[in-house]
Structure 1
């Protein structure tokens, strides 16, 4: 499965709503493009696919992750990489809100998918190895 670059814009959070924050992106899913409006000239970014704020966790999983996990179950390696500045929606997409089943993120859905497939497969042994790494650059650490 080739590498694909997808973008998901999360909805405004409660803090942003309370501050009357404005949405500063326009998306064109037909060409996989995001236009960022803010101070200065408009900036355009292109992706293999874009998902707007009303996209559900289930839609994201089914469109992007499900085929990847199916390949993993067949023995291939798979990686999902979330990138963005603090507060941009990485945790929102990857972990979701497990207390609200429809808002479960990619990680819990992936584990459910893998272990459901394992439980229904006969005469096959599986070795599951998963890792999760979060890198957070909050600035230099002062020397001790």
Structure 2
């Protein structure tokens, strides 16, 4: 069974083409062994960097595959054993959430957490009978959108189910939930 505690992990994405073209300087460094992140203040070499400690820290040399195997794999294993699991990607625009969660399809080592998790689930249950339902929502700038729905631009309401049954708990009003039978239905 996977751990029942909340874990906070940081990942520093590589610089993108625009940042490299502008000769941007990296101000974030990581000590992955200690789970520490250091942030330098540009132009203030005399000030020590701010230091933060996390349950895990992954730098630009780490692939999504490494991060998935160490962080998400145990969580997804727990899901296949019947436990609930959540991966919550948080950060400012451009910080690398999509890079980590969706990934780069052309580079196997950088395929995202989402496709890896679904592939993992379907490989695990391939010889058993399961009902797999999925929904996919995005919270961005305080707007909630159903990414599987017909109108992905429409803002949704999210409400707590007053009965709080095991089926619902909280619900996006009109959130599309689809039954899927294979990994290819998701990709």
Q: Same fold (TM over 0.5)?
A: yes
Partner of 2:133: 129
**Equivalent residue for 1:38, pick from 38, 41, 44:** 41
TM-score, normalising length from structure 1? Answer: 0.86
**Equivalent residue for 1:99, pick from 94, 99, 106:** 106
After alignment, is 101-110 or 129-138 more displaced? Answer: 129-138
After TM superposition, where is structure 1 displaced by more than 4 Å over at least 4 residues in a row? none
Equivalent-residue separation in structure 2 for 1:18 and 1:133 (angstroms) = 33
1:26 aligns with 2:29: yes
Unaligned 5+ runs, structure 1: 140-144
Equivalent-residue separation in structure 2 for 1:89 and 1:15 (angstroms) = 14
Question: SS of the residue aligned with 1:97?
Answer: coil
After TM superposition, give the deviation of residue 138 of structure 1 in Å: 8.1
Equivalent-residue separation in structure 1 for 2:64 and 2:117 (angstroms) = 12
Unaligned 5+ runs, structure 2: 144-187
Report which of the two structures shows the higher radius of gyration computed on alpha carbons: 2
Q: How does 1:1-144 map to 2 (within 5 A)?
A: 1=3, 2-39=5-42, 41=47, 42-119=49-126, 121-122=127-128, 125-137=129-141
Q: Deviations over 1:46-69 (max 9, x none)?
A: 101101111001101100011101
Equivalent-residue separation in structure 2 for 1:101 and 1:51 (angstroms) = 18
Question: SS of the residue aligned with 2:138?
Answer: coil
Question: SS of the residue aligned with 2:52?
Answer: strand
Between Structure 1 and Structure 2, which shows a larger proportion of helix residues?
1
User: Which has the higher relative contact order, 1 or 2, with Cα contacts under 8 A spaced 6 or more apart?
Assistant: 1
After TM superposition, give the deviation of residue 43 of structure 1 in Å: 1.8
TM-score, normalising length from structure 2? Answer: 0.67
